Amino acid sequence: MRLISISFFCILSFACMSIDRELDWEDVTSDHESVLNIMGLLSTDSLVTSVVRVHRSLAMDEASDTLMRDTIFGNIVIYYASRYVVRDAEVIVSNGQQDYLFEYTDFEMGEDDTVVVGGYVYNGDDLQPQAGETWTLSVTTPGGLSANGETIIPPAPQLIKEELPDTFQLSQTMDIRWQTMADNYQIINAGNVLAYFFDYDYYEDSKPDYACGLWQEEIISPDEASWTYRREICEDDPFLDWEEDYLLINLMSMDNNYFDYFIRYAGDPEFSSLFLGQGGSGRSFGIEGGIGVFGAVGIDRHYMPIVP
Tell me the average pLDDT across 299-306: 94
134 neighbors 42 (Cβ within 8 angstroms): no
Task: Name the H helices within the chain.
Answer: 2-12, 193-197, 199-202, 256-259
Q: Give residue 73's pLDDT.
A: 47
Radius of gyration of the chain (CA): 24
Q: Give residue 7's pLDDT.
A: 34
Q: What percent of the chain has pLDDT over 90?
A: 47
Q: Is the pLDDT of residue 214 over 90?
A: no
Q: Is the pLDDT of residue 239 over 70?
A: no
- pLDDT tens sequence across 107-145: 665 555 444 567 899 999 999 999 999 999 999 999 899
- The whole-chain average pLDDT of the chain stands at 76
DSSP state of 260: I
Name the segment(s) of the chain with CATH classification 2.60.40.
Answer: 161-253+301-307
State how far the Cα of 249 lies from the Cα of 108, in Å rounded to an integer: 27
DSSP state of 85: B
Comparing CA positions, the residue from 304, 299, 306, 160 lying closest to residue 226 is 160
- pLDDT tens sequence across 158-181: 999 999 999 999 889 999 999 999
What 207-215 contacts at long range (C-beta under 8 Å, 24+ apart), as own/partner pairs, is 208/236, 208/237, 208/240, 209/234, 209/236, 210/236, 210/240, 210/242, 210/243, 210/245, 212/236, 214/190, 214/247, 215/189, 215/190, 215/191
State how far the Cα of 236 lies from the Cα of 274, in Å rounded to an integer: 38
Domain 161-253+301-307: which CATH number of 1.10.10, 1.20.58, 3.20.20, 2.60.40: 2.60.40
Ramachandran class of 286: left when φ > 0, alpha when ψ lies in -120 to 50, beta otherwise: left
Please provide the DSSP assignment of 208-223 as one string.
Answer: --TTTTT-EEEEE-TT
Q: Give residue 85's pLDDT.
A: 81
Comparing CA positions, the residue from 243, 194, 185, 239 lying closest to residue 217 is 185
- pLDDT tens sequence across 250-283: 999 999 999 999 888 876 544 444 333 333 346 8
DSSP state of 267: T
Tell me the average pLDDT across 6-35: 42
Q: Give residue 233's pLDDT.
A: 76
Higher per-residue pLDDT: 20 or 132: 132
Comparing CA positions, the residue from 140, 233, 229 lying closest to residue 189 is 229
